[in-house]
Structure 1
Amino acid sequence: MAAIRERTCRACRKKKGKSALLRLVIHKESVLEADPEQVLPGRGWYLCRQKDCLSIIHNPKQCRRAFGPFRQVGPILSEYIKNPLVGGTHDQIACV
């Protein structure tokens, strides 16, 4: 039996299964981007798919403390913040 991979949300610090969280990566010219397929290279961080946890992106001080320095939020992450699918899996994300 395979173990369930757990990750911790950077906003609320709750542990959940990897597929229940949204992965974020800083890539290409310091852009913070969502990685719904969980395949982009680089250091990944995870957030719950709830508005409360996603709201950390709107607070520059909290965001930089959680994710480190970056220049901008990428288009996929921006769209996801506007239209989150609360409780969905990464296969159900409708923003591209």
Structure 2
Amino acid sequence: MKKGHVPIRTCRGCGRRVPQAELVRFVVMNGIVWEDGEKTMPGRGVYCCRNAQCQKRFDKKRKMQRRSFRLHA
């Protein structure tokens, strides 16, 4: 990685693009969505803003979660 490079990720709740450090990462393990505070869990990660509104919006939309994690219905 280049010196000074900052990874940018998209919030799945609101769609804003922000530095990865400002977002919370979620992963699916055994069909359950887990918050990955350390950002070290294996598997596909999905990022969401730390604010409650974005996380609530993401939690509400099951269809969005399936698409985000590439899960089958």
When the two structures are superposed, what TM-score results if normalisation uses the length of structure 2?
0.80
Where do 5+ consecutive residues of structure 2 fail to align?
A: none
Matches within 5 A, 1:45-56: 45-56=46-57
1:48 offset after TM fit, Å? 0.2
Structure 1 residue aligned with 2:5: 3
Extract structure 1 runs of 4+ deviating beyond 2 A: none
Structure 2 residue aligned with 1:34: 35
User: Aligned residue pairs: how many?
Assistant: 65
Where do 5+ consecutive residues of structure 1 fail to align?
A: 70-96
Richer in strand (by share): 2
1:12 offset after TM fit, Å? 0.5
1:2 offset after TM fit, Å? 2.8
Matches within 5 A, 1:1-96: 1-27=3-29, 29-56=30-57, 57=59, 59=60, 62=61, 64-68=62-66, 69=71
Give CA deviations for 1:22-79 in whole Å, capped at 9, x if unaligned: 000001x21100001000000000000001101121x2xx1x222215xxxxxxxxxx
Letter of the 2:64 counterpart: A
RMSD over aligned CA atoms reads 1.5
